[in-house]
Amino acid sequence: MIRRLNLNGLAVTLVHQPDARDAAALIQVKAGSHDEPDRWPGLAHLLEHLLFTGSQRWPDRDRLMSWIQANGGRVNATTLARHSAYFFEITAARFGDGLARLHDMLCAPLFETAAIKQEMAVIDAEYRLLQHHVPAQAEAALFSLVAEPHTFHRFQIGSADAFGANVVALQQALRDFHQRFYVASNLQLWLQGPQSLDDLAHLAQRFAETLPQGQVQLTIPPLQLLPEMKPHAMLSEGVAQYWHSWILDAQWSDNVTLLREFLLDDAPGGLMASLRQRGIASEIELKWLYQSDKQLWLVAIFTTEQPDRLSQSVQHALQAIGETCEEQQMHYLQLAQQRFNALSPLEQLRQRVLGFAPAEPKRFHAFIAALQAAPSATLFCSNAVYSNKALGESVKTQGFELSLAPRETAPQRQSAVTAFAFYPLKTELICSPLPTAAVTLLHLASDKAATLILRPEFFSNLSESGEACAKRLRPLFATLRHVGGGGEWREAQGVWQLTLRLPDNQKLADWALEQVADALADNRSGSDPQQPESIAIRELLKRLPQHLTSASSPTCWRAVLCGGSEALHHVIARRLATFSLPVNPLLRSAPLSSRSGVSRIDHPGRDNALLLFIPLDQRHPLAALRALAQIYEPRFFQRLRVEQQIGYVVSSRYLRSADHDGVLFALQSPNLSVGRLLQHCKRFLRSLDNEIATLDIEALKTQLRVDESNAALTALRREQGLHDMTQTSIDALTLGDLQQLHTRLTNQRRRWRVLFTAGR
């Protein structure tokens, strides 16, 4: 249920989501990087940072970011070309308190000189980090093909050099920008949660009552590409990619999500299945490059080394999509709605405002025709495009220095048009006979569709073949989506896990499980070498699971079924008996200690990054660890990121990785050595001894929440003697438990797991 209001000049959208546990807010300002004065490139980005550093009512720890972190929520912001957005998610009971803090940070920022200097340094470090970030370079390369407006070429991230040394002048520029654009008529507020529409409206009314008033008048010049522009190729590191973009009139916005659903479909007969089968491309991503009230710039990013063959296939696919009937379009729109419904309240709001929320298509055939005729810019990125940088022209744009050269398209023989097939389709399912034997399969009652969870034996993983399995299972999952089911094979908490959603159709379930059995029995890695993440700390997070467990090859599978009929349960249990590894053997999983030690991870970046994982000793309650992590998170950020400015990545949180529970500390710095970063972690832990001894344990316990999002996996863990945090364990928690565990985490350093990269 949705309600739209205008309150005191503020445009408000309210979304009632009765099944949600949390509530989310997003406020968008119609001002971004393109609205900055030419004198101050990066000003909008700096303002975004500064608003989180304190406001009149909440100048310090209790401000929005610290308060959200302390209460287990999520908060973030983004600065785009024509918009800036601030958003958070928190439990419904604390939503009003969060909105009050959001209001104060937007309306009454402090703009303190010390905070400005601090955030200038952070943004400067972020700018240096992005110099080696291939997606940022690719966007800048596409923006270099724009003739008007000139703001597409202007430096937008911000840096110490761009901001300059005159902090007083910069402070005044920030105030002027804020005063001009942060007024009610230039803001849009979205609220979503389990509260009734009337309750949400009351919260919105309180938010709007004291917003500053004013009118903003802007003339946004139309986006135009360079005349007679030719596609360009960029010399860059990383996987070869082809960026194909279209500039559209904003009237077509309601059709883009439906187009995206057609293009993302992995089922046999669709574009991606055809591209993979012919070895042309392996992945696709759609994103917005630019959004204004009148124009949209959409890009499809393909992983490919054959841009010319790909371009021809995309043209054929668009032609076929443009010929689909209304029944097919409504079918794919339903799939887009299902994808959207699976998101959290916060992610739904972000898609509504900044991404791809489902909408009833308007003149879809005309939209496809307009897309094919739209101004288009393409970019081929590959480290193999030119072996000599001198062959490319050095172009400076948006603070990047890029090697660009015209890409001449190879002459193409007119190939036969690919035959595409769109759902709904009638498919004949053929299965081998079921065995008489059946595995022991835990069956949990549920009124939702049957969902099978299958994962490797606890404390083991599929380090080599997990990615290859994901590729083999992709067509199956896509086919199931078209018949009311679906599935995922992905790393969950550092372990590859199958989540298979099945309609209550025994033949279909049996067929799907047989496809899964074949995919998992094929233990070939079959994957291309994985490129490292461009940001060092992300690479360390990706590597952590394999460095915690010594068992990379499982001896069995563990499975549980949630929902579905008894007859379906029996079919699944029999089919699971045909898997190449035993499923649910009677022998219980044996808990293994996590591997400790220090490991250096090779990474091409120039920063020093540190990942410290401190595992929980099983003799201590998980509730104590979760409570300590909640204490560490805001304090770690405040002291090392805000007060000491250690680096631009400063994070601490609870983490379960490869079945090991622990607390994580992550740091990345362009200046400090790995040894210094580790010393800061040690010093931080030691500094909390007295503070933990004086905590209000009862108040802390009210902030802990039992995770009810995956009852099936929780039941499977319990069956194997592995427990999760319960309300009973929270109620039993004492201050002594926290002190004892904190001392153990701090002092038993031989159990620590440290991963690091050292800049070059």
Strand order in the sheet with 753-757: 597-600, 753-757, 608-615, 660-669, 649-657
Sole residue written with tokens 């800036």? 84
Which is catalytic among the residues 48, 89, 139, 305?
Answer: 48
Q: Taking the CA atoms of the chain, what radius of gyration do you get in angstroms?
A: 27
Tokens matching residue 260: 């995206």
Q: Is 48 a catalytic residue?
A: yes
Token output for 465: 């073949």
What single letter denotes the amino acid at residue 357?
A: A
Residue pair 720/558 in contact (Cβ under 8 Å)? The answer is: yes
Supply φ then ψ for residue 155, to 5 degrees: -60, 130
Q: In what order do the strands lie in the sheet with 486-492?
A: 442-444, 557-562, 450-456, 495-502, 486-492
Give me the phi and psi of 583, to 5 degrees please.
Answer: -110, 125
Query: Six-digit token pair at 58?
Result: 């909440």
* Beta-ladder partners of 22: 91
The residues, ordered by sequence, that sit 6+ positions from 335 with a Cβ below 8 Å of its Cβ are: 261, 265, 481, 482
> How far apart, in whole angstroms, are the C-alpha atoms of residue 53 and residue 47?
10
> At a CB cut-off of 8 Å and minimum separation 6, what does 498 contact?
452, 453, 454, 455, 473, 487, 488, 489, 516
Q: What is the DSSP string of 295-352?
A: EEEEEEEEEES-HHHHHHHHHHHHHHHTT--HHHHHHHHHHHHHHHHTS-HHHHHHHH
Contact predicate 43/243, CB 8 Å: no
Nearest to 704 by CA among 723, 684, 686, 728: 728
- Opening angle at CA 511, ends 510 and 517, nearest 5: 85
CA distance 731 to 718: 19
User: Cβ neighbours of residue 339 under 8 Å, at least 6 residues apart?
Assistant: 261
- What is the distance between the alpha carbons of residues 597 and 19, in angstroms, rounded to a whole number? 44
Active site residues: 48
